Amino acid sequence: MGPLGPSEAVRGIDIELYRGETLGIVGESGCGKSLTALALSGLLPDGVRISRGQISILGEVATEYDEALWRRVRGRSVALIFQDPMAMLNPVLTIGAQICEAIQAHKTIRWSDARREAVSLLGRVRLPDPQRIVDCYPHQLSGGMAQRVAIAIAIANRPDILIADEPTTALDATVQIEILALLKDIQRETGMAILIVSHDLELIARWADRVLVMYAGKAVEVRSARDILTKASHPYTLALIASRPRRRLNYGRRQRLEEIPGRVPLPSERLSGCGFAERCAVADDECKSNAPDGHQIEDGTVWCHHAIGCEAIAQ
């Protein structure tokens, strides 16, 4: 609810996620990425609701689920990994107790058997000495270890869909690669679908199968990850690519990072045209007055009045 009444923070998003596939959602802060992930898992904050459209999970419409139904689905059909594992983990419970709790939420099993499963899960996410870590508290773990525990909890009941909201942001580059490789290995073993939310387009291009670029609560481009860095069609996607850090040249000064001028519109700002028009170098009067329809381009869709011209620029 905005100061002027209800606002649409996310609109017009159509997501299809298939078994064994990894879909990445990218965009700046405030574009609606995390809110989309929360909607797909029934964890929207107070005051936020789905006003149109529906969520279908494994063929069942989940849009009108109450919390009791979501509790049956969450953790079993859909599981989440949050950005900050230390905020997710309970500081006064051992790692083993928290994994056992996740297991027993969906399975009738004795505590001793759940504990054995917890130790097995800790070994599966490649934590050293799982017999010791099962009795540790969160503050005794590093950030990378805590993230592996979060993954162990998420996969405890072999979910069909795993949603990871910025799962590697607080980790160094080496640990990022280890965590993403671990998720891929688990995906190959179980066939689960993965949705990764990130602001890092290059990371998503490397690890996902498809990429959905969001801006101001809408999808602006969807296409295969292998082509997103070389064949991007939307000016916003191109701007994200241009703003990536580059390797320093062997001579001369360090290259200056490109900036995207302006800011992401607030949900309360009613826009009649393209949400990116005020920041776009190729926008014209049509862009500012009429919202673009989706145009099919090669292996994806782009929402832009000048998609063909932008694709030529990208090449």
Is 17 inside a domain boundary?
A: no
Residue 70 sits in the same domain as residue 184: yes
- Spatial neighbors of 141 by CB under 8 A, at least 6 apart, are 95, 133, 149
Q: pLDDT digits over 118-173, tens only?
A: 999 999 999 999 999 999 999 999 999 999 999 999 999 999 999 999 888 878 88
What's the mean pLDDT when you consider all of the chain? 89
Instruction: Average the pLDDT over 71-75 and give the result.
Output: 91
Partnered with residue 302 across adjacent β-strands are: 221, 295
Residue 63 sits in the same domain as residue 172: yes
The domain that holds 105 is classified in CATH as 3.40.50.300
Tokens of 286: 């049509």
Q: pLDDT digits over 20-60, tens only?
A: 999 999 999 889 999 999 999 999 888 888 888 888 888 88
Tell me how far CA of residue 134 lies from CA of 53, 82, 93, 188, in angstroms.
42, 20, 11, 25
Banded model confidence at residue 270, pLDDT cuts 50, 70, 90: confident
Residue 177 sits in the same domain as residue 239: no
Is 123 inside a domain boundary?
A: yes
**Longest CA pairwise span in the chain (Å):** 67
The answer to whether 25 touches 198, Cβ cutoff 8 Å, is yes
Is 90 inside a domain boundary?
A: yes
Residue 57 sits in the same domain as residue 142: yes
Domain span including residue 246? 214-314
Residue 59 sits in the same domain as residue 186: yes
Is 10 inside a domain boundary?
A: no
Banded model confidence at residue 198, pLDDT cuts 50, 70, 90: very high
Residue 276 sits in the same domain as residue 151: no
Banded model confidence at residue 257, pLDDT cuts 50, 70, 90: confident
Select from 99, 108, 204 the least CA-distant residue to 154: 99
Cα–Cα distance for residue pair 95/146, rounded to 1 Å: 9
Residue 69 sits in the same domain as residue 175: yes
The answer to whether 153 touches 100, Cβ cutoff 8 Å, is no
- Spatial neighbors of 100 by CB under 8 A, at least 6 apart, are 111, 114, 115, 117, 118
* Domain count of the fold of the chain: 2
Of 193, 226, 259, the one marking the end of a domain is 193
Residue 176 sits in the same domain as residue 242: no
Banded model confidence at residue 308, pLDDT cuts 50, 70, 90: low
Is 34 inside a domain boundary?
A: no
Cα–Cα distance for residue pair 43/63, rounded to 1 Å: 12
More confident residue, 303 or 269: 303
Q: pLDDT digits over 205-218, tens only?
A: 999 999 999 999 99
Is 149 inside a domain boundary?
A: yes
Residue 243 sits in the same domain as residue 143: no
Of 136, 161, 193, the one marking the end of a domain is 193
Residue 221 sits in the same domain as residue 141: no
Is 306 inside a domain boundary?
A: yes
**Dihedral of alpha carbons 304, 308, 310, 315, sign:** positive
Residue 84 sits in the same domain as residue 123: yes
Is 31 inside a domain boundary?
A: no
Residue 86 sits in the same domain as residue 172: yes
The answer to whether 143 touches 171, Cβ cutoff 8 Å, is yes
